[in-house]
Amino acid sequence: MKKTKGTNASIFELNGIPQLSKALPLALQHVVAMIVGCVTPAIIVAGVAELEGTNRVMLIQSALVVSALSTFLQLFPIGSKKGFRLGAGLPVIMGTSFAYVASMQAIAADVGIAAIFGAQIIGGIIAMIIGFFIDKIRKVFPPLVTGTVVFTIGLSLYPTAVNYMAGGASSANYGHWTNWLVAIITLAIVTFLNHFTKGFVKLASILIGIICGYIIAACFGMVDLTAVAQASVFQMPQIMHFGIQFDPSSCIAIGLLFAINAIQAIGDFTATTTGGMDREPTDKELKGAIVGYGCTNIIGAFLGGLPTASYSQNVGIVTTTKVINRSVLGMSAGILLIAGLVPKFSALLTTIPQCVLGGATISVFASIAMTGIKLITSQPMSYRNTSIVGLSVALGVGVTQASASLGMFPAWVTTVFGKTPVVIATVTAVFLNLVLPKGKKTEK
């Protein structure tokens, strides 16, 4: 296909500006597919940190703004074409990541939300270092290890979803039948749309499920729009509004996740180029992508935006539709940015009942765990590999479920290893993968 650099470019080529009538619906498709996942981690963390009113709205607002800025950098890199560039220059969407939710909940509850942003800065630095040395560090995180970690992340999020379905652990009506009714109806709608519809409706299944659940919850008197009425129409994110605190244990926990997600991002960028552009990403693109990922997370910490990562659902849209034009995805980022600058929109999102969020997102958490299983089973299931996965998950989940077993250790040990299974699973999987001898595929 002949490349067009000006206006009226094809939506199936990387550069150029396509017609608005073709670009806008596709841009909205990307926004619909990811916006719920983008704001839900902020809503969950705000609940654990007991943020109310303006602070709660601002955390969600910052999540949208930082996601937009991160996407812009990956789409339109900074730097020369021949030298190093900050960003990938590939058609990807960045958003607040669920991978950090379990660790952020533990940090917010034990240390405070400011410690999340301090740890995020350290994590961003780690990601940038990995980006510069990606060809060497990548060997430490093969699919078996990253799959084990992703699977453990999915498992660690299940209690959050179930507690939300029951109305929220801190709610006065926690466990009431009305919460479960609304949650199950929401989950049923999402499941039906995922399996019995196609196209735009299937992509928007979670959003449609939340809208339907929201209406049903309103009929039960669960919706309070006071926050929307009190919110302003326009507001810029405030630098260091939540503060920044460098807690060593929090930095270790989040830093490990950043290392894993930096490696995991290679999968999303590779899927984008192979599925949408029929080629592998270049070393230069991967380096720019991961260094840019670390840089935007450092900036995001100062703006109050929680950790971001590439969004697999949007990668799926690119590979399915073959629409790789960066202007289309840039328009999606523009919509996110505008939404983030309007506090009334962010305030509206805070009014979504927890039972609705739980019913809509438990399927997302399930898909995260299944993604981990797919990565694990992409490797031969030898005795060695099953031992690595089994022991890593067993120790990670087991110690977390019995966190009192660390009671005689210093407090920081419990914070790092006893609050979320991800850290122990990561350390164990990496260690075992390095020390256990590699045998034949058929070993038993």
Q: Is the pLDDT assigned to residue 335 strictly greater than 50?
A: yes
Alpha carbon distance 157, 362 (integer Å): 8
Identify the burial level of 197 via C-beta atoms within 10 angstroms of its C-beta, where 0-12 means exposed, 13-18 middle and 19 or more buried. middle
Alpha carbon distance 392, 398 (integer Å): 10
User: What value does the mean pLDDT take over residues 405-420?
Assistant: 77
Q: Is 403 part of any domain?
A: no
CA dihedral 324, 27, 359, 67 (to 10 degrees): 80
Can you give the C-alpha Rg of the chain in angstroms?
A: 21
Q: Is 387 part of any domain?
A: no
* 440 confidence band (pLDDT: 50, 70, 90): low
Quote the mean pLDDT of the chain. 86
Q: pLDDT, tens digit, for every residue of 63-110?
A: 999 999 999 999 999 987 777 889 989 999 999 988 898 889 989 988
Full domain range(s) for residue 362: 20-368
The pLDDT value given to residue 7: 60
Q: Is the pLDDT assigned to residue 1 strictly greater than 70?
A: no
Q: Is 14 part of any domain?
A: no
The pLDDT value given to residue 138: 73
Q: Is the pLDDT assigned to residue 156 strictly greater than 70?
A: yes
**First and final C-alpha spacing in the chain:** 51
Q: Which of the pair, 415 or 282, is modelled with greater confidence?
A: 282
* Residue 260: Cβ within 10 Å count: 24
* Residue 404: Cβ within 10 Å count: 9
Alpha carbon distance 189, 167 (integer Å): 18
User: What value does the mean pLDDT take over residues 202-218?
Assistant: 86
Written as six digits, the tokens of 85 are: 């560039």
Residues comprising the chain, all counted: 444
Alpha carbon distance 395, 410 (integer Å): 19
The pLDDT value given to residue 6: 54
| φ, ψ (nearest 5 deg) of residue 309 | -160, 170
The pLDDT value given to residue 422: 79
Q: pLDDT, tens digit, for every residue of 174-207?
A: 889 999 999 999 999 989 988 898 877 887 788 8
The pLDDT value given to residue 36: 78
Q: Is 115 part of any domain?
A: yes
Integer angstrom CA distances of residue 35 from 25, 32, 136, 361, 442: 15, 6, 35, 12, 44
Q: Facing residues of 96 across strands?
A: 308
The pLDDT value given to residue 402: 83
Q: Which of the pair, 348 or 392, is modelled with greater confidence?
A: 392
The pLDDT value given to residue 388: 94
194 neighbors 202 (Cβ within 8 angstroms): yes
* 363 confidence band (pLDDT: 50, 70, 90): confident
Q: Is 35 part of any domain?
A: yes
Single pTM value for the model: 0.79
The number of domains in the chain is 1
User: What value does the mean pLDDT take over residues 204-223?
Assistant: 88
| φ, ψ (nearest 5 deg) of residue 79 | 130, 175
Provide, rounded to the nearest whole percent, the portion of the chain with pLDDT above 90.
35
**Which of 329, 233, 345, 269 has its CA nearest to residue 23?**
329
The pLDDT value given to residue 442: 45
Q: pLDDT, tens digit, for every residue of 16-44?
A: 888 888 888 888 878 877 887 888 899 89
Alpha carbon distance 311, 317 (integer Å): 10
Q: Is the pLDDT assigned to residue 173 strictly greater than 70?
A: yes
- DSSP H or E segment with residue 36: helix 20-48
Q: How far is CA 410 from the centre of its chain?
A: 31
Q: Is 15 part of any domain?
A: no
**Which of 330, 327, 322 has its CA nearest to residue 277?**
322
Q: How far is CA 63 from the centre of its chain?
A: 11
Q: Is 274 part of any domain?
A: yes
- DSSP H or E segment with residue 202: helix 200-203
Q: Is 377 part of any domain?
A: no
Q: Is the pLDDT assigned to residue 5 strictly greater than 70?
A: no
Which amino acid, 319?
T
Written as six digits, the tokens of 120 are: 């995020």
